[in-house]
Amino acid sequence: MFEWIPAYQRFLLDVTLIDIILVISLLILFQCGLFSMATAGFAAIGGYTSALLVTDADWPVPLGILAAVFVGATLAVSFGLPVLRLRGIYLALGSLALAQVIVIGIANVGFTNGVFGISGIPTEVTTGWLVAIVAVILLVMELIHRSHFGRAMKAIRLDEHTAAGLGINVFAYRMATFGIGGAMAAMAGALEAHRTAVISPDQYDFGLLVVLLTYMFVGGVEHWLGPVLATIGFRILNENLEFAGTDWENFYYGSILVVVMLLAPDGLTSRRFTQRLARIFRRRPDLAT
Amino acid sequence: MIARRVVGALAALMLVTTACGSDDDSSSSSADDENPAASEPVEESAEADDTASTADGASADSDAEPSEATVVRVGVPLDLSGPAAISNIGLSELSAMELALEEVTASGMLGETTIEMIPIDTKGDKQEAVAGVLKLIEQDDVDAIVGFTLTPSFLAAGPQAVEAGLPVIAVGVAAPGITEVGDNVFRIIPQVSSLYAANDAMIAETLGATSAAYLYTSDSETTVGIHEARLAALEDAGIETKSVQSNTTADTDFRAQLTEIQNSGADIMVISGFPGQFAGQFLQAEEIGLDIPVLSTDGSGRNEVLDQAGSAMQCVIYTASWAAQNETGRNPHFVEAVQTELDDEADLYYAAGYDGMWMFSTALADAGSADPDAIVEALNNITDFEGAFGVYEYDDNREPDISGINLQIQDNEVIPWTPDTQCER
Amino acid sequence: MQQTINGLASGSIYALLGLGVTLIWGVLHVLTFTHAQVLTWGAFGSLIAINRGYPVPVAILVGMAVAAGLSVLIDSTVLEMLRRRGASEYAFVVATIGLAFMLESILRNRTRARVEPYSRDGFPRGPIELLGQNVPKLQLAVLATSLIAMAGLAIWLNHTRAGRGMKAVAYSPETATLLGINPRFIYAVAYTVSGMLAALAGVFVAVSTASVSYSSGDRLLLTAFAVIILGGMGSVPGAVVGGLILGVIEVYATVHVSSKFSEVVAYLVILVVLLVRPSGLFGAKEATRV
């Protein structure tokens, strides 16, 4: 369906779509007030689950990806059960440690081929699949956004005690969201493995998380559209500006994060920020009169 | 995790000689090498996949007409930007390729044919490498690819070139499994793991060792590959393994591992690591009183390493794939040309780029056309190629038969090592 | 025996870092992801002083001044702005991650990503005979200096006005203000002390490898977090004990399991403590549950 796009541009489109899934997996957690740093770990679990099942056990690719989703969700739930009862900062620290243990574990056990990673992974994932998957995810996100579930998530993010007072089962919502987030990150990892044909432990590093955080916060955490546009925008900038991969790349991403946190912690599209902007512009005429 | 990212940078950067080519952790790219020692299923699939597509694709693609005044277009994917440590390597490779191309053109060996190099920056990133090579194939319509700085970039993008049926000469990469990607893939830097394996047993025997302890860096595919090959080779030679210790690229304290090695009572210590960590390792070994002979890794003789470690590295022996001390092949001319033309000191990466372009030009002259099959055949048939790595040719697996050169550190100088070399500690 | 000393020596470096992180958490409830960078900048500060020919004690003080200055600068600019707008916890985490990336990037570019030689002249060298063991003098110096610094900190916290002020602010900034203590001053003091301790750790790391690079402190950030989780977040004695215990566990993991396994010890400690006893060894219970 998308074969008319030259392979080069199609490849860029595909990896952007995969990034979108990763960003959404982070966003859905954040919309429920959860700040998790385990995204890269779940992506690694997904990539390796599917890659190993397909190359070693000869599973068909779609089944491998489904298995990755299942493993990601299971892991997220079993980690979330104890940790989600704790204060938010413990989730941040615990999830960071979890991601480290996963990635170092993969690098040090035999059946994953250790630091050498896995190559020659069948690349059956096409642009058509990715477009369909992303479309479904975004549609679901929009439905959630408009539903009771979405409003409950928002209430929990803004003030969990009030939310609990309103009869929302905060813990259950968080567990569900955490499971979905883990499943989505694992799916993105699996899709990436089947798109680029090679994976290795070191690609799931802290830098990946920082890039995803940047996309999410620049896009804003209230609605999925912002982060999606930010992901696409950054990809286009990356391809055209020469800073990608340079020594200053980390500096740019770092400073963007700092500036966004200072100006608009909920993201540049957040209502709080746009209203502040509006106030500033409205004040000017006042001063003139 | 910050650590991991950084690590590589540290590692890559330092790793002058060793397989920096294949070291990559630093950039965000990801690596994937075939396992050198253990045979895991991975290899087969890669090979099966790629070779199949090669065979068909190759003959179909022939836009080069022989015997006319043709321009042969060579795609040169290298990591030219990105972390300084890596981009310096890529830039060295590129300038040495340009130097070689000038020499080739001046020699008149290609007759009417001229070579046009089309460099593309793969930015030390796997995805950029795939995109860049696809662009070279589709938009620039190149006849061959001579390039690649990092192993992960190659493993991701190489199959694209193989599928297009183009001859590929991998310039910078040093990991095992490179040429298994396809029947049309050749390499310049020999795979370092087998290089050490070939020399270690002889060195250990000369030292009179019957047992060994190992310290290796466990989070880079380069050093793990080297370590596994060395351990297997020494065990085959009857050297007993007393202790195996590891560290990560971000570690600064190696005392626990070194104390274990000392307590193991091994005759020699074999270190497979990166230059950025040698100083710490050797100084801490000296401090705890560990004074057994050491077989180290290429890069041990770098000036900054010797500056940092001082006398702690006296008598350390290591093997290098390329060394200025090598007097064979085109190396003496190459060392001088880099000095006069590029105003720099020759190193492994200049050597790799230089030999890459000379190798392709030689094959092109032999083949008499830019037809991919003819070039591949010519590369397979080259004998006694004279390059910066000495005199070599390709074996049946398209690996160069470069034997390397053994070196020793004495009084903060690097000298060639032979079984007769004496060293005072 | 030698291995226990190895563990205590690296553990005392962990404790120095953990103390800095735990002080800031205790006073400001901020988890500083910039701490590893503060360590590295401090080490580079002392390197510059050493290369200019200053004696070692002066160079260490220069390193401490650089690290303390950097810490206070971070606090009085970005973190102060976040506090003013009542930003939530995650905003501090994300902003300090961003700052850490910026700081690392600057050093990396300034040094062209090279590993710089760090002269050991003037630092203790060689082994000393102790209980029939050859113990490196440098390790003993690290251990002794760290313990003195920690003891000094404990005395200062409990017996000086500024120290008690810090405890008051940690308990409640509002109450402290009523008592005539300026919280902003206390924040600056906390960042100064934490920066100085980090710089000390940075110097030790640089000396023991005779080198320093932009990434010297990277591995230690999560280790410092493991220390304070183990000791209890905000607890000063917890950070000391947690650091020493973690150092020893890592070494014993190398001896009895494998050096590969010791890589994950710090992360496993975080996970296990979170599952079993989230308040850590010395932590206050109330802070840990929602």
**Range with the lowest mean pLDDT among B250-264, C153-167, C194-208?**
C153-167
Cα C46 to its chain centre, rounded Å, is 16
Each residue's pLDDT tens digit, A95-113: 999 999 999 999 988 888 8
Element at B120 (helix H, strand E): strand B114-121
Distance, CA of C94 to CA of C75 (rounded, Å) = 14
- Are residues B289 and B411 located together in one domain of the fold? yes
Q: What pLDDT, on the 0 to 100 scale, is given for residue A285? A: 52
pLDDT over 80 (residue A243):
no
Which tokens go with C145?
């200096």
Q: How far apart are the first and last CA of chain A?
A: 59
Establish if B22 belongs to a structural domain: no
- Are residues B89 and B160 located together in one domain of the fold? yes
- Residues A154, A158, A164, A165, CA torsion sign: negative
Establish if B32 belongs to a structural domain: no
pLDDT over 50 (residue B33):
no
- Are residues B280 and B409 located together in one domain of the fold? yes
Among the partner-chain residues A88, A104, A210, the one whose CB lies closest to the CB of C101 is A210
**Range with the lowest mean pLDDT among A241-255, B59-73, B137-151, B354-368?**
B59-73
pLDDT over 90 (residue C136):
no
Q: How confident is the model at residue B69 (pLDDT cuts 50, 70, 90)?
A: low
Of C200, C289, C192, residue with least CA distance to C243: C200
**Backbone region of residue B141 per phi and psi (left: phi > 0; alpha: psi in -120 to 50; beta: other values):** left
Using DSSP's 3-state secondary structure scheme, residue A233 falls into helix
Establish if B14 belongs to a structural domain: no
| Mean of pLDDT values over B65-71 | 61
Establish if B300 belongs to a structural domain: yes
Using DSSP's 3-state secondary structure scheme, residue B414 falls into strand
Which residues of chain A lie closer than 8 angstroms to B220, CB-CB? Answer: 115
- Are residues B124 and B183 located together in one domain of the fold? yes
- Are residues B139 and B220 located together in one domain of the fold? no
Each residue's pLDDT tens digit, C13-68: 999 999 999 999 988 888 999 999 999 999 999 999 999 999 999 999 999 999 99
Q: What pLDDT, on the 0 to 100 scale, is given for residue A159? A: 84
Q: List the single residue in A with minimal CA-CA distance to C84.
A: A262
| Mean of pLDDT values over A113-125 | 85
**B residues 143..182 contacting C (CB < 8 A):** none
Q: List the single residue in C with minimal CA-CA distance to B281.
A: C209
Interface ipTM > 0.90: no
Q: What pLDDT, on the 0 to 100 scale, is given for residue A245? A: 57
Using DSSP's 3-state secondary structure scheme, residue B320 falls into strand
Distance, CA of A42 to CA of A76 (rounded, Å) = 8
**Number of domains comprising chain B:** 2
Of C45, C48, C205, residue with least CA distance to B284: C205
Q: What pLDDT, on the 0 to 100 scale, is given for residue B43? A: 36
Establish if B374 belongs to a structural domain: yes
A-C CB pairs within 8 A amount to 125
Contacts of B295 (CB under 8 A, 6+ apart): B200, B203, B204, B230, B268, B269, B270, B271, B316, B317, B318
Contacts of C83 (CB under 8 A, 6+ apart): none
**Range with the lowest mean pLDDT among A115-119, B139-143, C223-227?**
A115-119
Q: List the single residue in B with minimal CA-CA distance to A247.
A: B83
Establish if B375 belongs to a structural domain: yes
| Domains in chain A: boundaries | 1-204, 206-289
- Gyration radius of chain A's alpha carbons: 20
* Record: contact B40-A113, CB cut-off 8 A: yes
- Are residues B300 and B379 located together in one domain of the fold? no
Which position has the higher pLDDT, B176 or A54?
Answer: A54
| Mean of pLDDT values over C271-277 | 89
- What CATH class is the domain C2-120+135-287? mainly alpha
Each residue's pLDDT tens digit, C95-130: 999 999 999 989 988 887 778 889 888 888 888 877
- Are residues B262 and B294 located together in one domain of the fold? yes
| Mean of pLDDT values over B47-51 | 38
The domain of B362 spans 68-190+328-392
Of C59, C145, C268, B311, residue with least CA distance to A101: C268
Establish if B46 belongs to a structural domain: no
Which position has the higher pLDDT, A22 or A153?
Answer: A22
Which tokens go with A37?
């740093």
Which residues of chain C lie closer than 8 angstroms to B280, CB-CB? Answer: 208-211
Q: What pLDDT, on the 0 to 100 scale, is given for residue B41? A: 37
- Are residues B94 and B215 located together in one domain of the fold? no
- Are residues B166 and B237 located together in one domain of the fold? no
Looking up residue B87, the CATH number of its domain turns out to be 3.40.50.2300
Work out the mean pLDDT of chain C and round it to a whole number. 89
Establish if B42 belongs to a structural domain: no
Which position has the higher pLDDT, B82 or C139?
Answer: C139
Q: What pLDDT, on the 0 to 100 scale, is given for residue B25? A: 37
Among the partner-chain residues C91, C106, C108, the one whose CB lies closest to the CB of A261 is C91
Residue B212 has φ and ψ, to the nearest 5°, of -140, 150
Distance, CA of C286 to CA of C264 (rounded, Å) = 29
Contact B17, B347 (CB under 8 A): yes
* Record: contact C289-A85, CB cut-off 8 A: yes
Using DSSP's 3-state secondary structure scheme, residue B332 falls into helix
- Are residues B273 and B159 located together in one domain of the fold? no
- Are residues B183 and B109 located together in one domain of the fold? yes
Q: What pLDDT, on the 0 to 100 scale, is given for residue C181? A: 85
- Are residues B337 and B285 located together in one domain of the fold? no
Q: How confident is the model at residue B63 (pLDDT cuts 50, 70, 90)?
A: very low
